[in-house]
């Protein structure tokens, strides 16, 4: 199959091997299908869209670009750094982009990956105009919503533009597949993602893998409010130092965190 051959070429070029769910996701996107990808943290969800432009170019012979909607500037900058290390042309738009000339380069279709916040993509302006016409518009082959659980958790009054992401369907080329990537999705969250991105249930493929964290244990026991309850951990730290197993302690208030910190420091 042609796609399999191109995937193998990508593996050879970048010296890695696609995991089964990565490969399945990419194949579905290349067939222009809306896709929901639910894979554990660390599985490599970003690798799915990293190579989609190059694969579309191999299939069509035309310049291809993927628009990625991301929630946080720090996350966007981190991903851009990784893409640059792979020599994949990428940029970011929004408040974290000081170079105003980038918009002109985007409009000219010079990037394979363009990252944007929901606000930047949906607010009228030069960047929004680039989405609707020109080379960048004609090159768009997929719209990826990274950290898609934010659609259900960050919409409403907090970040209203997350409720409007489906509007992008009216400005990108017809039949452009939408891809939702997340590590967290309950059944109700999945339904809400489909609804808010206008993904048809019978026309959208969901690709998922159960999270198996055998190195994490969970135990529950009744406890008092005394910090002395944690003496076992303090003794372990004193005996084993950095070899002590990683432990997360949740407190009910900032003041409790401060008290606990002082107790550990004093000990």
Shared domain for 41 and 8, answered yes or no, is yes
Paired tokens of 123? 């607010």
Residue 35 lies in a domain: yes
Could you give the number of structural domains in the chain? Answer: 2
Q: Which helix (H) or strand (E) holds 6?
A: helix 2-14
The secondary structure of residue 123, as a DSSP letter, is S
83 in the same domain as 186: yes
CA 92 to the chain's CA centroid: 14
Q: How far is CA 206 from CA 70, 100, 179, in A?
A: 20, 38, 10
Q: Which domain holds residue 235?
A: 227-266
Q: Any bridge partners for residue 178, and if so which? A: 143
Mean pLDDT of the chain: 89
The answer to whether residues 143 and 243 belong to one domain is no
Q: Are 99 and 38 members of one domain?
A: yes
3-state SS class at 24: helix
Domain shared by 150 and 196, yes or no:
yes
- Assess whether 152 and 246 both reside in one domain: no
Residues 63 and 157 in one domain: yes
For residues 88 and 147, membership in a common domain is answered with yes
Residues in the chain: 267
Residue 214 lies in a domain: no
Averaged pLDDT, 168-186: 93
What pLDDT digit, counting tens, does each position of 24-81 carry? 999 999 999 999 999 998 899 999 999 999 999 999 999 999 999 998 888 898 999 9
Whether residue 87 has pLDDT greater than 90: yes
For residue 215, being part of any structural domain is answered with: no
On whether residue 247 sits in a domain, the answer given is yes
* Residues 23 and 63 occupy one common structural domain: yes
Same domain, 104 and 162: yes
The closest of 61, 114, 107, 58 to 89, measured between CA atoms, is 114
Helix pair 52-60, 20-30: axis angle to 10 deg: 50
Q: How many CA atoms lie within 13 A of 57 on its CB side?
A: 13
233 and 262 together in one domain: yes
Summarised one tens digit per residue, pLDDT across range 197-231 is: 999 888 899 999 876 667 777 777 777 777 778 88
pTM, two decimals, is 0.79
- The phi and psi torsions of 146 (rounded to 5 degrees) equal -80, 145
């Amino acid at each position: 199959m042609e796609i399999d051959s191109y995937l193998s070429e990508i593996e050879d070029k970048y010296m890695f091997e696609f995991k089964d769910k990565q490969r399945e996701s990419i194949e579905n996107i290349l067939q222009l299908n809306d896709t929901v990808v639910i894979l554990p943290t660390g599985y490599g969800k970003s690798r799915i869209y990293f190579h989609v432009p190059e694969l579309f170019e191999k299939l069509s012979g035309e310049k291809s670009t993927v628009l990625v909607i991301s929630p946080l500037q720090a996350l966007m900058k981190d991903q851009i750094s990784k893409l640059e290390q792979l020599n994949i042309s990428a940029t970011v738009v929004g408040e974290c982009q000081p170079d105003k000339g980038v918009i002109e380069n985007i409009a000219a279709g010079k990037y394979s990956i363009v990252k944007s916040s929901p606000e930047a993509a949906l607010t009228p302006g030069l960047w929004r105009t680039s989405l609707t016409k020109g080379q960048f518009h004609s090159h768009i082959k997929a719209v990826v919503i990274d950290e898609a659980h934010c659609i259900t958790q960050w919409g409403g009054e907090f970040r209203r533009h997350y409720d409007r992401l489906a509007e992008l369907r009216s400005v990108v080329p017809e039949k452009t597949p939408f891809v939702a990537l997340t590590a967290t999705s309950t059944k109700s969250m999945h339904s809400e993602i489909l609804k808010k991105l206008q993904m048809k249930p019978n026309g959208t493929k969901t690709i998922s893998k159960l999270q198996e964290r055998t190195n994490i244990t969970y135990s529950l026991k009744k406890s008092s409010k005394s910090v002395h309850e944690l003496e076992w951990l303090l003794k372990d730290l004193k005996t084993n130092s950095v070899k002590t197993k990683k432990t997360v302690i949740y407190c009910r208030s900032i003041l409790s965190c401060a008290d606990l910190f002082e107790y550990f420091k004093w000990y």
